[in-house]
Amino acid sequence: MSNITTGNPFVIDTAGAGNIVASMLRVYAVLWDVGTTGAADGALSITDKNDAVKFAAHSSAKNENIGISFPDGIVFEGLRVPTKGSGVVYIYCQNVG
């Protein structure tokens, strides 16, 4: 599977240094499903296109779900996931402007 950025949520299974999305987004929630191959020290980092860290987490076990919600949303100027351990990240968001 590859990253899916159509619809809501975005489904991110591949990390990389490039922009996943270059437009402005308001992110309301992030869920990281570490999956069955997760490691005790897996890492996730989500940044904007200027590399400002917006969310970071570490997994501690397989089959772990790590999530956070932002009731008012957080505005991202672009979206990158430069670091992602195993599993899939779901990003619930909407375009801004």
Sheet holding 43-47, edge to edge: 10-12, 88-95, 16-33, 65-84, 43-47, 53-58
Residue range 8-28: mean pLDDT, rounded? 94
pLDDT band at 38; cut points 50, 70, 90: low
Instruction: List pLDDT tens digits, range 55-86.
Output: 999 988 888 899 999 999 999 999 999 999 88
pLDDT band at 97; cut points 50, 70, 90: low
Write the CATH number of the domain with boundaries 10-95. 2.60.120
Domain boundaries, the chain: 10-95
Pairing of strands 65-84, 88-95: unpaired
Residue spans of beta strands (DSSP E) within 6-64: 10-12, 16-33, 43-47, 53-58
